[in-house]
Amino acid sequence: MRNPIRFRLFVMMVLEFFIWGAWLPLIFGYLPSLGFTPAQQSWILNAFPIAAIVGMFFSNQFADRNFSAEKFMAFSHFVGGLAMLSLAFTRSFWPFFLLMLVHCLLYVPTISIANSIAFASMKDAQREFGIVRMGGTIGWILAAWPFTFILVDWEKVRAANPHGLKEWLGTVLSSGLVGDALRAGARWTFVVAGIASLLLAAFSLTLPHTPPKRADEGAVEKLAWLEALKLLKHPFMLVLWLVTFVDSFVHNCYFNWAGVFLGTSKATGGVGIPGNWIMPVMSIGQIAEILTMFVLGTTLKRLGWRATMIVGILGYPVRFAVWAFLPQHTELIILVQVLHGICYAFFFATVYIFVDAYFPKDVRASAQGLFNVMILGIGALVANSICPMLLQEVFTKNGLTDFHGLFLVPLAAGSVAALALALLFHPPPQPLQASALEGRAA
């Protein structure tokens, strides 16, 4: 971090993922409080995966070729930040949906654009990028902590009349919002995310100049996605792609339901965590992710591709099993959040590394894009379309949610995905060469 350019890239990543981490965890409980139906909630939640699918084309086919990266970042985060701030004061469905769509369509391409700026500014990407990208995980963690002081029942604090800083601080931290007050207070997540987006818009103008790429400088070909789909003719690739869909679905089930489950009172089947502590508890998973990434390389060498991915997938069924069968054990519910690091690093990160290792350089971008569409787009799209209905209509009767039955759905899906990977995923012993790729795909 003593390198000033690397430090600016690190701060860019912190702010980039701070924005996403600020609004995502609590939106799933906030939308029902506005009176939106499960179908309307799904439309709003699906703005991000729709933008992810569109963004995979837009950022490569248009933004990269027509705008300098830092100016595109500045414009996108300025307009997207204004849209995010407006969400805090919007109560009607159509304005809310359109504002969220505007934000997501502008935000999602900046994820890959930020990577482009980072890679273009590094002398040794293999050595430097991991440190810079870790800023994104730290940003997601940092996004959780302002809400320990924002989602607070200040009437309760004033009534307690604490004396001295220590007593005041203890009273504040133990006086989180609950119930309807928590759901209403979640609008502040949009304010925090919007401010962070505007800060990044201004900061982007200080980033290293990254000019647009000409079509002959390695930009994605017009038929890149058709070429990417041809990769699914390899049985091991098709199996991994379908398992990735299931795991992405399970991953997004967690985000759909975790905040509601953690914040619901114990008397009604939840964990009863105060509202100002829900996001910090969820951020434990990202802290564990940082630690897990340090041992990923060693784990891959010892266990191999398939076993490492299976362990990553099984982290989800284990966590949902604890939530389904032991909801009364608050400490254990919080402790199993560390499995998020294993789930993400041992599966999703390993998938990206596997594709990079197994495919020739000229098709790696297409293969990575194929899995990005599944992880950020299709898997999330299906989960966001189903999860609100499952939570509010199928497993909730007379105001009480059957969290046990609800969590058995992703538990079963994750278990089946792990079994399918164990039985059907058989990659060749050596990475594919270009000639072998053409022959096997023919």
Indicate if 112 and 248 belong to the same structural domain: no
- Measure the CA–CA gap between 248 and 255, rounded to whole angstroms: 11
Would residue 137 count as lying in a domain? Answer: yes
- The share of the chain scoring above pLDDT 90, in percent, equals 60
Is residue 366 assigned to a domain? yes
- Statement to judge: residues 140 and 16 lie in one domain: yes
Position 8, amino acid: R
> Residue 227 pLDDT more than 50?
yes
**CATH, residue 104:** 1.20.1250.20
Instruction: Using the CB atoms, write b or e for 333-351: b if 16+ within 10 Å.
Output: bbebbbbbbbbbbbbbbbb
**Where among 220, 242, 275 does a domain terminate?**
220
Residues 25 and 135 grouped into a single domain: yes
The per-residue pLDDT for range 419-441, each reduced to its tens digit, is: 999 999 998 877 665 444 454 44
* 160 domain-assigned: no
In a domain, 241, yes or no: yes
Contact partners, residue 281, CB within 8 Å, separation at least 6: 262, 273, 334, 337
Tokens of 150: 């924002």
Token pair recorded at residue 335 = 């402790």
Contacts of 371 by beta carbon, 8 Å cutoff, 6+ apart:
241, 244, 351, 352, 355
**Do 203 and 251 share a structural domain?**
no
Is residue 35 left, alpha or beta, with left meaning phi > 0 and alpha meaning psi from -120 to 50?
left
CB atoms within 10 A of CB 68: 14
Give the range of the structural domain holding residue 40, as residue numbers without chain letter.
1-151+186-220
Regarding whether 88 and 211 lie in a shared domain, the answer is yes
pLDDT at 441: 41
Give yes or no: residues 203 and 278 share one domain. no
**pLDDT-derived band at 61, boundaries 50, 70, 90:** low
Domain co-membership, 202 together with 277 = no
Start-to-end C-alpha separation, the chain: 48
Q: Is the pLDDT of residue 363 over 70?
A: no
In angstroms, rounded to a whole number, what is the distance separating the alpha carbons of residues 418 and 35? 38
pLDDT in the model for residue 220 = 45
The residue among 297 and 24 whose pLDDT is bigger is 24
Which of these three, 220, 237, 263, is where a domain ends?
220
pLDDT at 428: 85
The pLDDT of residue 234: 85
**Amino acid residing at 70:** E
Q: What is the mean pLDDT of residues 32-38?
A: 94
pLDDT beyond 50 at 182:
yes
**If pLDDT is split at 50, 70 and 90, which confidence band does 214 have?**
low
Residue 365 pLDDT: 63
Specify if 180 maps to a domain: no
What is the pTM (predicted TM-score) of this model?
A: 0.85
SS3 31: helix
User: Judging by beta carbons within 10 Å of its beta carbon (0-12, 13-18, 19+), is residue 69 exposed, middle or buried?
Assistant: buried
Question: Are 209 and 227 members of one domain?
Answer: no
Question: pLDDT averaged over the chain?
Answer: 87
Question: Percentage helix, strand, coil, to 5, in the chain?
Answer: 80, 0, 20
DSSP secondary structure string, 262-320? Answer: HHS-GGGTS----HHHHHHHHHHHHHHHHHHHHHHHHHHHHHHHHHHHHHHHHHHHHHH
Residues 26, 3: Cα–Cα separation, whole Å: 36
How many C-beta atoms lie closer than 10 Å to residue 287's C-beta? Answer: 18
**pLDDT bucket at 37, cuts 50 / 70 / 90:** very high
In a domain, 58, yes or no: yes
Number of domains in the chain: 2
Q: Are 7 and 185 in contact (CB under 8 A)?
A: no
> Do 287 and 332 belong to one domain?
yes
Position 259 scores a pLDDT of: 93
| pLDDT value for 112 | 79
Q: Among candidates 90, 97, 59, 89, which has minimal Cα distance to 76?
A: 59
Half-sphere exposure of 263 (CA within 13 A, CB side): 29
Residue 205 above 80 pLDDT?
yes
pLDDT tens digits for range 380-399: 999 999 999 999 999 999 88
Does 176 map to a domain?
no
Does one domain contain both 335 and 384?
A: yes
Residue 75 pLDDT more than 50? yes
Instruction: Identify any residues that bridge with 396 across adjacent strands, giving them in sequence order.
Output: 401
Q: Answer yes or no: is 304 within a domain.
A: yes
Same domain, 206 and 302: no
Residue 241 has pLDDT above 80, yes or no: yes
Q: Are residues 199 and 237 in the same domain?
A: no
> Averaged over 76-102, what is the pLDDT?
97
